[in-house]
Every structure is written in C-alpha cells, then in structure tokens.
C-alpha cells in the first residue's frame, strides 16, 4: 500500500498502482505511468492474468524493498 492507503503491486522489480477493477479483473499500470505505458492485470485471487508489457525504464528492486518496509511499519 502507498501513503494514501491504496494497494500497489510489486512485480519483477517494478511497482504498479491500481487503475481500475472491472468484472473481477484488476488492471494495474506502472507507477511511473506518465512516462511508461506498461500494464498488467490480475484476477480476484491475485493471480496474474496478463503479463506486463515492456517498460520504458529499468526495474528498481530497491524501490520495491522500501515500499514493503514502509507498508510493514504502517501495519
């Protein structure tokens, strides 16, 4: 979750923010969505339905670690 309490998805060193949910499918977009058009979708059980397309930037695994640490401190 981010600072505003919204869910985020960490996948392969990239972070995604929830775009929308429709018919049990959650659509995610890269958190750097102003510059990057990568998207992914998950089912209600959080299983991956559509693999992400190419990003316009390299992954940032450190960002994922920091986000998880912040989320665990909020819990």
49 and 41 in contact (C-beta within 8 Å)?
yes
With respect to residue 54, please indicate whether it lies within any of the assigned structural domains: yes
Tokens 């665990």 sit on residue = 72
Higher pLDDT, 12 or 7: 12
Q: What is the DSSP letter of 73?
A: H
* Residue 30 resides in a domain: yes
Residue 66's domain is classified under what CATH number? 2.20.25.240
Residue 1 lies in a domain: no
Question: What is the per-residue pLDDT across 30-68, written as a single tens digit (0 to 9) for each?
Answer: 999 899 999 999 999 988 888 888 899 999 888 888 888
24, 41 contact by CB (below 8 A): no
pTM above 0.85, yes or no: no
Rounded-to-integer distance, Cα 40 and Cα 2, Å:
18
Residue 50 covered by a domain:
yes
- Which range marks the domain in which residue 67 is found? 8-74
Residue 2 included in any domain: no
Quote the number of domains for the chain: 1
């Amino acid at each position: 979750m981010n600072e505003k309490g919204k869910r985020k998805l960490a996948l392969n060193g990239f972070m995604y923010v929830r775009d929308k949910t429709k018919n049990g499918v959650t659509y995610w977009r890269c958190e750097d969505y102003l510059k990057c058009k990568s998207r992914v979708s998950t089912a209600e059980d959080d299983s991956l339905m559509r693999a992400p397309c190419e990003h316009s930037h390299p992954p940032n695994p450190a960002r994922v670690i920091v986000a998880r640490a912040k989320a665990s401190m909020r819990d």
